[in-house]
Amino acid sequence: MEPVLPQHNIALLNYPGAQLAALYGLKDMFEVANRLAEGQTNSVLKPHIVDLFEDTATHLHDLPTCAALIAPPSLSAEKHTGQGAVHHWIKTQHQKGALICSACAGAYLLAATGLLNGRTATTHWALKQEFSETYPSVQLNTDQLIVDEGDIITAGGVMAWTDLGLRVVERFLGPAIMLDLAHQLLIEPGRCEQRLFSAFRPELHHGDATILKVQHWLQTTFTTRVTVKGMAEHAGLTSRTFLRRFYRATGLNPKAYLQLLRVEKARRQLELTPKPVNEIAWAVGYEDPTAFRRIFLRIVGLPPGEYRKRFSVEAARQALER
């Protein structure tokens, strides 16, 4: 008779709007990891989908203690935050030692329990402002694809559930099995930065018509030598008043805003055109290509040339032909 291996119960939380591809994808990942781990480890993962709908939430206390809970992404416009019985169950599992995890908008469910208060977490970069306004006690860092706090792990983008799945496998089955799984499923292990994928989306719904006029003006003049003084003059404000109102409206100082706008335009040219990097630098308003490369690296996390190798249309075409 074969010995029964210790099981790590992994609860995959199915809530209203949860992405089913992630739920069943994670289940498949863990089952593949178990096959790869046969003979190499003394434990297995036991994934099971737990429904968090109102008519089932009262039965949560009947479930066994979990080694990990995972709130998957959601593609729904309405973010699910759960209710009392669900919150109590998640917090109870955490108190019993469960690893609490989320991917993308699944972080809303964790934040609603209060477990993320005072902690660093991540979610999809496009949700940054909304999430921060809803849960100001959470120290949000959407530059990171994975934030591992030891007992709580949050992942960023919609497809970051794959990265999260690898992290959970590494935690319970070890790094060797995790790497085998990554190779088997063709997932790049060790990705950690979300900013490589984030686009600059300026805040335009702040209600300050004067600042909005300047923002629209910058969309057409960013290639020229624009100064803060010039922006203030276009707004018809003193420099001091302009700086205060611009920051209040956009959350950025004008210089940082202009850099983000220029770098976003450069990213698109790197992705879609074969233009030399120096030419792109000049085209988006940088007279010094070296300064452009330095700013691009700081904002994006990769040098322009490396970014093109990874994210250009040509790079995608070549990958498909391999």
Q: What is the CATH number of domain 209-319?
A: 1.10.10.60
Q: Which of 120-134, 198-212, 292-306 has the lowest mean pLDDT?
A: 198-212
Give residue limits of the domains in the chain. Answer: 7-185, 209-319
Task: Tell me the residue length of the chain.
Answer: 322
Q: Cα–chain-centroid distance for residue 293?
A: 24
The encoded tokens of residue 66 equal 């979990």
**87 phi and psi, to 5 degrees?**
-60, -45
What's the pLDDT tens digit per position in 196-236? 666 677 877 788 989 988 988 998 889 999 999 999 999 99
Read off the amino acid at residue 147. V
- Classify domain 7-185 by CATH architecture: 3-Layer(aba) Sandwich (3.40)
Integer Cα distance of 269 and 280 in angstroms: 7
Interatomic CA distance for residues 269 and 267, integer angstroms: 5
Q: What is the pLDDT of residues 148-203, one digit of tens each?
A: 888 899 998 888 899 999 989 988 888 788 888 888 887 776 665 566 666 677 87
Instruction: Tell me the three-class secondary structure of the chain, residue by residue.
Output: CCCCCCEEEEEEEECCCECHHHHHHHHHHHHHHHHHHCCCCCCEEEEEEEECCHHHHCCHHHCCCCCEEEECCECCCCCCCCCHHHHHHHHHHHHCCCEEEEECCHHHHHHHHCCCCCCEECCCHHHHHHHHHHCCCCEECCCECEEECCCEEEECCHHHHHHHHHHHHHHHHCHHHHHHHHHHHCCCCCCCECCCCCCCCCCCCCCCHHHHHHHHHHHHHCCCCCCHHHHHHHHCCCHHHHHHHHHHHHCCCHHHHHHHHHHHHHHHHHHHCCCCHHHHHHHCCCCCHHHHHHHHHHHHCCCHHHHHHHHCHHHHHHHHHC
Q: What are 66-84's pLDDT values in tens digits? A: 999 999 999 888 898 888 8
* 140 pLDDT more than 60: yes
d(CA 177, CA 199): 34
- Terminal Cα distance for the chain, rounded: 47
